[in-house]
Chain A
Amino acid sequence: MTTLIFLSLLGFLVLFIGAFDYKKLILPTVIIGLIVAFFLNAMDWELTATSFYGMIDYNHYAVSFTGLMIVSVLLLMLVASYHFRNEGSHIADIYALMIFTLIGGLLMTSFSNLVMLFIGIEILSIALYILAGSRRLNIASNEASLKYFLMGAFASGFLLFGITLIFGVTNSFNLAEISDFVADTEELPTLFSTGVMLILIGFAFKIGAVPFHFWTPDVYQGAPTFITAFMATVVKTAGIAAFYRLFDSCFSGIDGTWFKILWIICVATILLGNITAVMQNESKRMLAWSSVSHAGYLLIPILALNELSSSAIFYYSAAYSIASITAFAVLIGLSKFQNDLPLDQYKGLAKNNPIMTTALVVSMFSLAGIPPLAGFFGKYFVFLTAMQSGLIYVVVIAIIGSLIGIYYYFKPLIYAFNNEGGSLEKIETNFAFNFVLMAGIVLSLLLGIFPDILRNLPG
């Protein structure tokens, strides 16, 4: 709970520092504030109590996911200090919006009432619509923002409609009461299943699963690269955490109504995401499609819904977030604010930029799922979860998907080690940027070699 209050105050503080134009103070404040927030969050580990009339249930699951999101935002802020090194005055506003987004994510992982879920999702989304359009004079950024806003508002409408129907049937927004209703009622009314389906659609949109993925490539490409990284990691983690929390606590007893549809969504997401990513020649679009396919892998534990699910989702999100942040950081290092980043711009990277190349190799290997990196164990735990629930076909399709994935994750590497057309100059970086790359490499290796440090956290 203290984390929520602290983050709100931090957001306001950053806004004030920006308003009084103390530019040098902004980044240190944000970094120190996020580190403090991380420890405040960790101190709530033993709390596990519902508070505020059962609005929030800050259990181990919520604490671990919030911790993961704070670490991701922290790494992204360090990248941002490099990304925005020449940028103008509104950095403080962008940092503040990112901190508010974190509050939305926190509510989405700790809600125990559908009203809190909706407010959390809206805080997250509204901040993102603006962040996607934060390069105001760039037409692609404007398009990304507007597209995301229109589609996102529509998806929120579906979610809200679903929540309304569920309230209409159960007369409660409270997760515990809804799950009691599901357990006590022998034949659930059709209206209830309709509500569940509408909520499912809303969530599938927010995490970018097929067939609600149409916004992903355009929005990911048009938004500033640093915001794209933010959307691919923190937002996806929050969305999937909320998805699992709701379906595990309320709708697990009625899997007959949503299981088949989620099965199709899951399989289609993995296949379409991976196959389309192969055909991309643009780095951000490729990473966007790869993030679509990873949403598919993250849906598998929700489909399986057994006692291994929460740890599998948590470990996979952690591995995926760290690898993605590293990959996007390399991309930010290479790019000079342009939207179009063709894959061959990696050409000749290896010779003069050892740290960036290592980071690129580690992140791509981790995303592809090659041992001993974290991404491999992420996939392994997800498949283990699925096998325990007997989802053999899903596992087979997911393995085919990852085999396709290996092909396109190797493309940037092949370019990076190709020196034919002359090699790239050494790219000027700063300490924070190199720190993120090193942290990404070390964390991916560390999580891969000792997967148990994180795996059993959410419990």
Chain B
Amino acid sequence: MLTIAFYILSALTISSALMVLFSKSPIYSVLWLVICFFSITGHYILLDAHFLAIVNLIVYAGAIMVLFLYVIMLMNLNKESEPQKPVWLKFASVITGCLLMIVLAGALKGYSELPPAAITEDFGTAKGVGKVLFTEFLMPFEVASILFITAMVGAVILAKKHVND
């Protein structure tokens, strides 16, 4: 049962990710991306990471995608303003992308000799994540606040109207 669900979700993830690339209109791309994130959320649930699944749904599929849509609408993207890349650049990116994929596929092939890590009782629940976050990972959790204040100050610097403008 789980295996079937995994394959269905994987097919959905990959095909929607491809549709993101191949859609002509950026709006359609974003909508396909939403579906992609939804199916990744499904993967998290299959992996017993319930908390992560909900966060992924709220933050990525919810907040960030809405932001994406706003940006696309505000920038008024259409076909004429789309930059045309030279052919050699497209070739180069296809080749490098395929190389990376081959390396990763080769690295993953036959990758079952290492034993899976043991998981705890409350793995993946809000309680379990909270416990780890406030004990072992307290330091990065607190320091991340500096990261966010930096981003906020930056947004203010870039967006504020200055006196001498």
CB within 8 Å of B: which residues of A? 4, 8, 11-12, 15, 52-53, 55-56, 88-90, 93-94, 96-97, 100, 103-104, 107, 113, 115-116, 119, 122-123, 126-127, 129-130, 133-134, 136-137, 165, 169, 171, 189-191, 193-194
With A100-B146, A126-B150, A190-B107 as known contacts, state yes or no: A115 contacts B157, CB within 8 Å: no
The 11 listed contacts between A and B (C-beta, < 8 Å) are A4-B143, A15-B153, A53-B137, A94-B157, A96-B153, A100-B150, A103-B143, A116-B139, A169-B114, A171-B117, A191-B107
A312 to B154, CA, bound (A): 35
Q: Is B111 an interface residue (CB 8 A)?
A: yes
Query: Is B1's beta carbon under 8 Å from chain A?
Result: no
Query: Residue on B with the closest CB to A51?
Result: B139
Nearest CB on B from A420, distance (A) = 39
Of chain A, the residue at the smallest CB distance from B143 is A119
Interface membership of B165, Cβ < 8 A: yes
Given that A52-B138, A53-B136 are contacting pairs, would A100 and B149 also be in contact in the complex, using a CB cutoff of 8 Å? yes
Rounded to whole angstroms, the CA-CA distance of A456 and B153 in the bound complex is 39
Report yes or no: B106 in contact with A190, Cβ–Cβ below 8 A. Answer: yes
Decide if B111 touches A191 in the complex (CB within 8 Å).
yes
Instruction: Please report the C-alpha to C-alpha distance between residue A116 and residue B107 in the assembled complex, in whole angstroms.
Output: 26
Identify the B interface with A (CB < 8 A): 103-104, 106-108, 111, 113-114, 117, 135-140, 143-144, 146-147, 149-151, 153-154, 156-158, 160, 162-165
Q: A100-B153, A107-B143, A194-B103 are in contact. List 9 more A-B contacts (CB 8 A).
A: A11-B149, A52-B139, A89-B163, A100-B150, A116-B139, A119-B147, A137-B165, A190-B106, A194-B104
For A93, give its contact among B143, B146, B156, B164 (CB under 8 Å): B156
Lowest 4 A-B CB distances belong to which pairs?
A130-B154, A52-B139, A88-B164, A190-B107
Cβ contacts under 8 Å, B150 to chain A: 97, 100, 123, 126-127, 130
Given contacts A134-B157, A191-B107, contact A55 B140 (CB under 8 A): yes
A94 to chain B, nearest CB (A): 7
B114 engages A189 (CB within 8 Å) = yes
**Complex: how many Å from CA A190 to CA B139?**
31
Knowing A123-B146, A126-B147, A189-B111, the reply to whether A115 touches B153 (Cβ < 8 A) is no
CA distance A126 to B137 in the complex (A): 22
Indicate if the CB atoms of B139 and A53 lie closer than 8 Å. Answer: yes
Residues in A neighbouring B114, C-beta threshold 8 A: 169, 189
Give A130 to B138 CA distance when docked, in angstroms: 27
Residues of chain A within 8 A (CB-CB) of B149 are: 11-12, 100
Cα-based distance from A4 to B160 in the complex (angstroms): 29
On chain A, the residues within 8 Å of B106 by CB distance are 190
> Taking CB as reference atom, which chain A residue is nearest B149?
A100
- Name the prevailing secondary structure of the A interface residues: helix
Q: For residue A112, give the distance in angstroms from its CB to the closest CB of chain B.
A: 11
Determine whether the beta carbon of B139 is less than 8 Å from that of A93: no
Closest to A197 in B: B103
- Give Cα A187 to B160, complex, Å: 56
- Distance, CA A103 to CA B140, complexed state (A): 13
- In the complex, which of the residues B138, B143, B150, B160 has the most CB atoms of chain A within 10 Å of its own CB atom? B150
Shortest CB–CB separation between residue B112 and chain A, in angstroms?
Answer: 11
CA distance A94 to B153 in the complex (A): 9
Once bound together, how far apart are the Cα atoms of A115 and B104, in whole Å?
22
In the complex, the chain B residue whose C-beta lies closest to that of A118 is B140
**Is B135 in contact with A53, judged by CB distance below 8 angstroms?**
yes
Partner of B157, one of A55, A93, A103: A93
Contact of A194 among B107, B147, B162, B163 (CB under 8 A): B107
Rounded to whole Å, the gap between the CB of A117 and the closest CB of chain B is 10
Pairwise interchain contact A90-B162, C-beta atoms closer than 8 A = yes
B contact residues around A15 at 8 Å (CB): 153
Q: How far, in angstroms, from A451 to B2 measured CA to CA in the complex?
A: 65
Closest B-chain residue to A171, C-beta based?
Answer: B117
List, in ascending order, chain A residues with CB within 8 A of B136's CB: 53
**Which A residue's beta carbon lies closest to that of B115?**
A171
B90 to chain A, nearest CB (A): 17
**Contact present for B144 and A119 (CB under 8 Å):** yes
Distance of A10 from chain B, by nearest CB (Å): 12
Residues of chain B contacted by A11 (CB below 8 angstroms)? 146, 149
**Chain B residue at smallest Cβ distance from A195:** B107
In the complex, are the beta carbons of B160 and A90 less than 8 A apart?
yes
Q: A116 contacts B111, CB within 8 Å?
A: no
How many angstroms from the CA of A89 to the CA of B164 in the assembled complex? 8
Nearest B residue to A127 via CB reads: B150
A136 contacts B154, C-beta separation under 8 Å:
no
Please, how many angstroms separate the alpha-carbon atoms of A189 and B106 in the complex?
A: 11
Q: Closest A-chain residue to B104, C-beta based?
A: A194
Which residues from B are CB-within-8-Å of A53? Answer: 135-139
**CB-CB < 8 A to A116: which residues of B?**
139-140, 143
Are B111 and A88 in touch, CB under 8 angstroms? no
